[in-house]
Structure 1
Amino acid sequence: MASGKGTPAWKIAVQMKEPMWYIGYGSNMKASSMQGRNVTPLATEIVTVPSHYVTFDIFGIPYSEPCYASIEEFPEGGTAQLELVHGNYRTPVPPLCGVAHLLTPTDFHRLLVTEGSGVVYDIVTVRAYRFDGDDKPTGPPIIAYALKAKWPQRPSGIPSARVFF
């Protein structure tokens, strides 16, 4: 369901009148990342996006922040699986797990500006699903916006520890 490519991110934010869901992944799952941008979510949900996975394919600053996170759609329109292969070991690539933030149009615009949207990222629309108590996706999808690398680097890089802690 990835869509929205071709529409400038700022235009989406300006045209919206109602709050919208934004998928945060990597360091954007942390409340401090939102607070540092003066963005106050109206609601927050832990979600998965089964059609996409996290990748670190945005070139960063050597040694301090070697790359930045993005997302990519699984092959075949998000329905196929990928595996990481190292020698004889195969590990399935997990789907994107992140945090859905419900944002006002003003906060969404502020987030897009501070993330480099339009320059570094394109905006895509995804279907996210809340987790129930058993860590399984549940309920109807949340239609949300997410940021995807405009010019992904291949092969993907290795992020700094800051992303994980």
Structure 2
Amino acid sequence: MEIPEQAASTPRWYFAYGSNLSLSVLTGKRGVAPQQSRVVRLPGYSLCFNVLFLPYSEPAMAGLQARVQHDRCQPVFGVAYLLSEADFLKVLVTEGAGVAYRMVETAAEDVAGKTLRVYTLIARHESPFAGGRYPSRRYLDLLLKGAIESKLPIEYQETLVQLPAFRPSNSTRWRVGQWTFQLVWHKISMWVQHGTRRFSNEQGEVPGWFLTIFDILLWLMWFHHDYIQAPVFGRGDGGTSTEQL
């Protein structure tokens, strides 16, 4: 994931559509100070949740899927932030670029119809078992809060309100399933997060061998959920049917 040479030492536009919609997240948690900001949309992409994370807590994170001609899916709206090189790299590292996400350059349109080139993050690869997973209520509320703060179009805010969310069950069986699943995978996920920080370079890239381990563990975790845990204790992703790998 290389920074384009022509933009390596100059400010560039970063398109935020997930948790970074909230300026408090961007400036607080990320420690980033945008030079400018604009409400824009990406005509070529729509919002989806194809970045898998942890079943039973945070099953899926925001991603983008390409729109095709005559696609009825609404284009994704967000905020384009003009960032310095240092702040841009900071966003890449804190967002998991190079591990969960990869960077792309695409066209954006502001409310006046003006086009600008932006960089944004999409899922590093299309997982064959990413469909049908819901984001948590906490995560969706964060997106909605950011959309309201940023004054995204009301119609788009209403779309976010209507999105289905993963909600934990109150049943004892489900709680036992959540506990046993996290007993196995919480420590592993902590190791992955520690390894990402340890082995990543200044652009958030990690060695190929680490990516291979990451992909294998992600596949094993969701296989465990879909075919072992969910049939016995109930699903931990908000879905209603098991996706085939």
- What TM-score, normalized by structure 1, do the two folds share? 0.77
Contact 2:42 2:77 in 1 (8 A): yes
What is the rounded CA distance, in whole Å, between the counterparts of 1:124 and 1:108 in structure 2? Answer: 13
1:7-43 Cα shifts (integer Å, max 9, x gaps)? x14x448961111000000211001220211011111
For the Cα contact (< 8 Å) 1:13–1:109, is it kept in 2? no
Check conservation: 1:24, 1:98, Cα contact below 8 A.
yes
Check conservation: 2:67, 2:73, Cα contact below 8 A. Answer: no
Determine if the alignment matches structure 1 residue 59 to structure 2 residue 52. yes
> Which runs of at least 4 in structure 1 moved beyond 3 Å after TM superposition?
11-15
Deviation of residue 162 (structure 1)?
2.4
Distance 1:54 1:13 in 2: 29
C-alpha distance in 2 between matches for 1:12 and 1:113? 16
Cα distance, 1:31–1:121 mapped onto 2, change above 3 Å: same
Which runs of structure 2 are paired with 1:142-161 in the superposition (5 Å)?
142-153=116-127, 154-161=130-137
Q: Tell whether 2:23 aligns with 1:31.
A: yes
Match of 2:37 in 1: 44
Bigger Rg over Cα: 2
2:70 to 67, 81, 96: 81
Task: Provide the C-alpha distance between the structure 1 equivalents of 2:104 and 2:119, rounded to a whole number of angstroms.
Answer: 6
Q: Secondary structure at the match of 1:67?
A: strand
| Percent identity (aligned) | 33
- What is the identity, as a one-letter code, of the residue corresponding to 1:162? R
- Bigger CA drift: 11-20 or 66-75? 11-20
Partner of 2:99: 119
Return the alpha-carbon distance in structure 2 between the equivalents of residues 33 and 14 of structure 1: 28
Query: Which one has a larger percent strand, Structure 1 or Structure 2?
Result: 1
The structure showing larger relative contact order (alpha-carbon pairs under 8 Å, at least 6 residues apart) is 1
Q: What is the number of residues matched between the two proteins?
A: 138
Question: What letter corresponds to residue 125 of structure 1 in structure 2?
Answer: E
Q: Normalising to structure 2: TM-score of the pair?
A: 0.53
The structure-2 alpha-carbon separation of the partners of 1:118 and 1:12, relative to structure 1 and needing over 3 Å to count, comes to farther
